[in-house]
Amino acid sequence: MQHFPPTIIIRHCKENLKKCSLRGLESRSDFRFFTYPQFPIALPDLNGYILLTIDAPPLTEADKDAGLLLLDGTWRYAAKMERFIVKEAPLLIRRSLPPHYRTAYPRVQNDCADPERGLSSIEAIYLCYKILGRDTNGLLDTYHWKEQFLQKN
């Protein structure tokens, strides 16, 4: 079994945990969660990690050995977190998900240029893991819109 760097989640402190699609993954050994801007410890070295953004080259299987970094928050908060993270880790690799994927998460996207592509965090991670050839078992287990998401994609 191949081992990958842990997936790093930086969650904005104002993220509504009752609506958070990543709930239940905090205890997994392949994930590390940090709260922005209240980091209790130093962030790990993120250089060489893949930062998901909507306007970057698509993620491919060629990226399989890189770590994955996801910013968890509203689009407005994610933009603020991204500016901070890029200063801390200037060698981040920017990637996006292919544009044909669609969200099943029922919400209004006021700050997203393309709301249908505005995937929930767990949807984005699931698709990344699929593209990178990583084990997706258990990722969508607690996601309420799992079946709708899988049917759409």
pLDDT in tens, 105-141: 666 555 555 555 568 889 999 999 999 999 999 999 9
Q: Is the pLDDT assigned to residue 60 strictly greater than 70?
A: yes
> What is the per-residue pLDDT for 8?
93
The continuous run of DSSP H or E covering 26 comes out as none
pLDDT in tens, 71-103: 988 778 888 888 888 888 889 999 999 888 888
Please say whether the beta carbons of 73 and 17 come within 8 A. Answer: no
pTM: 0.85
pLDDT in tens, 7-26: 999 988 777 666 667 777 88
Q: How many CB atoms lie within 10 A of CB 28?
A: 13
